[in-house]
């Protein structure tokens, strides 16, 4: 589990020594031995951290757990690899960006371009079993991602946190709103998006906040994939 980007490993690597994380490691190993298919693939489990080192983070978009369909999850919340159709929640994210910033949705669902600009695409739970949403909930990941948010809160200034849905908003208790921007909304899922996510204006609000604090805005226009 310690295949973590260096700046993050220095901040949160010690968390993996905790008994609950050791138990999580054992659980994942046993589930694989029992034939369970776990997403994302092991090398991509910590992809969010690889793309957005600790000191480069500007925005945190918090998801719940990885997509559980074959070929979808690749370690970035809401993102899918090139060639995989954007899932419904991501399609709604694109709709809101188009409404908010007049940006035409791309023909793909890969969000690495955002991640490489300092958007930490973080799921609260970093693994899931094929076809079983929330199957690794309450196994230990939540404490680790709490620690990630707490480290950002304590040691960075003027970050933007996008917390969509009640599950993500639980981490709001860890964030000092006098030092960071916290944007909340319902989840972009088709079940809730039209009850407040569409119209939330989070993407323009994030850029206004970043610019007001001397930081470059995020380019939310995803380039076409080659």
User: What SS3 class is residue 74?
Assistant: coil
Asked if 142 contacts 125 with a C-beta cutoff of 8 angstroms, the reply is: yes
Adjacent-strand bridge partners of 59: 119, 160
DSSP secondary structure of 186-208: --SSTTTGGGTTTT--HHHHHHH
Residue 105 DSSP code: P
Per DSSP, helices labelled H in 121-216 are 141-155, 166-169, 202-212
Give catalytic residue positions: 65
């Amino acid at each position: 589990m310690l295949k973590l980007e260096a700046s993050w490993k220095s901040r949160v690597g010690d968390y993996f020594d905790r008994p609950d994380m050791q138990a999580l490691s054992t659980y994942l190993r046993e589930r694989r031995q029992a034939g369970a298919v776990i997403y994302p693939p092991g090398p991509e489990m910590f992809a969010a951290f690889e793309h957005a080192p600790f000191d480069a983070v500007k925005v945190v978009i918090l998801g719940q757990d990885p997509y559980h369909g074959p070929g979808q999850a690749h370690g970035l919340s809401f993102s899918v690899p090139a060639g995989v159709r954007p899932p419904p929640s991501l399609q709604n994210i694109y709709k809101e960006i188009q409404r908010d910033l007049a940006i035409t949705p791309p023909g793909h669902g890969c969000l690495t371009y955002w991640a490489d600009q300092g958007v930490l695409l973080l799921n609260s739970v970093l693994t899931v079993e094929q076809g079983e949403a929330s199957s690794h909930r309450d196994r230990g990941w939540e404490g680790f991602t709490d620690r990630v948010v707490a480290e950002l809160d304590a040691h960075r200034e003027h970050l933007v946190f996008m917390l969509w849905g009640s599950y993500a908003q639980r981490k709001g208790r860890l964030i000092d709103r006098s030092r960071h921007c916290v944007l909340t909304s319902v989840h972009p899922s088709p079940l809730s998006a039209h009850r407040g996510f569409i119209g939330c204006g989070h993407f323009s609000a994030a850029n206004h906040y970043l610019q007001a604090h001397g930081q470059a805005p995020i380019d939310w226009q995803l380039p076409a994939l080659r």
